[in-house]
Amino acid sequence: MNEKIKKILIIEEDTTFFKAYQEMFKNKGINIMNAVTGREGLTMVKTENPDLILLDVMLPGGMNGFDVLEDLKRTEATKNIPVIILTNLDSETNVAKSIGAKDYLVKANTTKDDLVKIVMDCLEAPCPEP
């Protein structure tokens, strides 16, 4: 189908979720990578240059999701990479969007189908504004 395999970087502490994402997106022709801390995530963004970043807010290592998002948006090379906040912390929608997140999804309130659809839609560049 597509000429190039899309890369999604998932910055997420809880590997249970990463496993679930792997299940969700297997057979979709998408390469999923995982970073556990914010710093790791940022490093991987530079090395892997992903097409989409799914970012959790609660991250270990002193740098939370918003800090990562701000860093990404500050950096010229990474500022155009769409970022979707995917977390179980809610009610920070406005903050996230003001920093430049494409979407703010609460895991518990998002069905698997919806999540897959949002991610797939976003990979179809350009990523639609929510």
Only one of the segments 36-44, 46-54, 64-72, 106-114 lies at the binding site for other proteins (rule: CB under 8 A); that segment is 106-114
Of 23, 70, 121, 124, which one interacts with other proteins (CB under 8 A)? Answer: 23
Phi, psi of 74 (to 5 degrees): -75, -30
Q: Name the minimum Å distance from CB 74 to other proteins.
A: 24
Of 47 and 109, nearer to other proteins (C-beta) is: 109
Nearest Cα to 119, choosing from 6, 12, 3? 6
Q: Name the minimum Å distance from CB 4 to other proteins.
A: 25
Only one of the segments 2-10, 28-36, 84-92, 117-125 lies at the binding site for other proteins (rule: CB under 8 A); that segment is 84-92
Q: Are 89 and 57 in contact (CB under 8 A)?
A: yes
Pairing of strands 83-87, 103-106: parallel
Q: Name the minimum Å distance from CB 2 to other proteins.
A: 22
Only one of the segments 19-27, 66-74, 76-84, 120-128 lies at the binding site for other proteins (rule: CB under 8 A); that segment is 19-27
Q: Are 88 and 107 in contact (CB under 8 A)?
A: yes
Cα–Cα dist 23/19, whole Å: 6
| Helices and strands: H and E segment counts in the chain | 5, 5
Of 7, 20, 31, 48, which one interacts with other proteins (CB under 8 A)? Answer: 20
Residue 102: how many other CB atoms lie within 10 Å? 21
In the complex, the residues that contact other proteins under the rule CB under 8 A are 14, 16-17, 20, 23-24, 58, 87-94, 106-113, 115
